[in-house]
Amino acid sequence: MSFLGSLGIGQWAALMITAILVGFTKAGLEGASIIAIPIMAGAFGARQSSAIIMGIMVVSDLAALWKYHSHVNLKILLRTLPPAIMGIALGTIVGKKMPEGTFKVVVGILIMVSAVLMLIQESRRGGFVLPERWYIAVPLGMLAGFSSMVGNAGGPIFGLFMLSSGLLKNSLIGTTTWFFAIINGIRLPLNIFVWHTFTLSTLKLVLAAAPLALISVLAGARLVQKIPEKPYRYFRLAAVAVGGIYLLLG
């Protein structure tokens, strides 16, 4: 029996659900992929599921880039990528050794407090724009890179920064798309050659999920374009908060 043929119904269901959720996230419906993390961990185990999700993210990034490649704020991208790469390097070295639970709780609290403050500002003055300073971009970039490497959980952190940027919907999605496409492109070889978590079996699972992930990106993108700017910002803010809750409870 082939490897794919040996999968149970529950594992196939988890894989397909994850493909849809990751695809929707990459389309701009932020937060959906967070739900996939516990689903996949239950079906495949924490170690293997993390590599599978990362692979599906890489595939979905390609479709998202095709859709949003021209909507990018290079200033924000160039300001956050270097510290994110440092965070990936740190996560590669110490990610397996540090207590993951402690890290998730600290980051989750930071996200929840920030989300509440941003919600207050959104309701009172219609915007919450952080100053363009290195002492904000560097730590958030490093946290996004580190948490992406150790647990595919960089979305809420970077989403927090992007919401505070004041960008309109398409630029927000496009910049996020480019950021994680580059980040995931760096993570993939590290998982293959350093951590040895992305194997031939992982690749088979990713390829099986790829068509549904690509369709979900394109369908999600159509849905996102129907959502007005203001409701979309509140949706992203709620998704960031859900991500923070997941980190706290996960």
- The tally of domains found in the chain comes to 1
The mean per-residue pLDDT over the stretch 104-117 comes to 66
Tokens 């996960």 sit at which residue? 250
pLDDT in tens, 150-175: 878 788 778 878 877 778 899 999 99
**Alpha-carbon Rg for the chain in angstroms:** 17
pLDDT in tens, 219-231: 999 999 999 998 9
Contacts of residue 214, Cβ cutoff 8 Å, sequence gap at least 6: 23, 59, 60, 62, 63
pLDDT in tens, 37-49: 888 888 988 778 8
C-alpha to C-alpha distance for 25 and 220, rounded to whole angstroms: 8
Three-class SS of residue 85?
helix
C-alpha to C-alpha distance for 92 and 46, rounded to whole angstroms: 16
C-alpha to C-alpha distance for 146 and 84, rounded to whole angstroms: 7
Position 96 scores a pLDDT of: 65
Biggest distance spanned by C-alpha atoms of the chain: 61
Range of the domain at 26: 4-249
* pLDDT at residue 125 is higher than 60: no
Position 131 scores a pLDDT of: 46
Two tokens, residue 32:
């959906």
Model-level pTM? Answer: 0.88
